Amino acid sequence: MNDRCPGCGALVAPDTAFCTRCGTAIGAGPQQAVLSSNDKWLILLGNVCLSPLLGVALYLVWKDSQPRKAQESCTLTWITVAIWVVFILGAVVIALAMPHTGKGGNV
């Protein structure tokens, strides 16, 4: 009886240690892959520059196959949302603190 690879779903022989298609360890259950520090910075930077939707998309892609990566992506997305909130609140405070000058008003 053949087993399926937890990483890619390919059929593998029961005595196989690694999937020949994707390299995932067989018999160890789903891989608990973690994000490298470079991946974390890229996700954080992508979330800040583009949108927190990037983190949500990565979470949805990884939630079943790589739950640990999905959780880390979700955490980085919440950090990004906090950065955006601080940035927006700071901009509002600065805008309200600036003196208003109208065309016909006194300065």
For residues 69 and 62, the answer to whether their CB atoms sit within 8 Å is yes
User: What tens digit of pLDDT does each residue of 82-95 get?
Assistant: 888 898 899 899 98
Confidence at residue 103, expressed as pLDDT on a 0 to 100 scale: 61
Confidence at residue 45, expressed as pLDDT on a 0 to 100 scale: 76
User: What tens digit of pLDDT does each residue of 23-80 get?
Assistant: 777 765 444 566 777 788 777 777 677 777 777 888 888 888 888 888 888 888 888 8
Q: How much is the pTM? A: 0.49
Q: How far apart are CA 88 and CA 8, in angstroms?
A: 41
**Residue ranges covered by each domain of the chain:** 1-31, 32-99
- What is the CB neighbour count within 10 angstroms for residue 60? 11
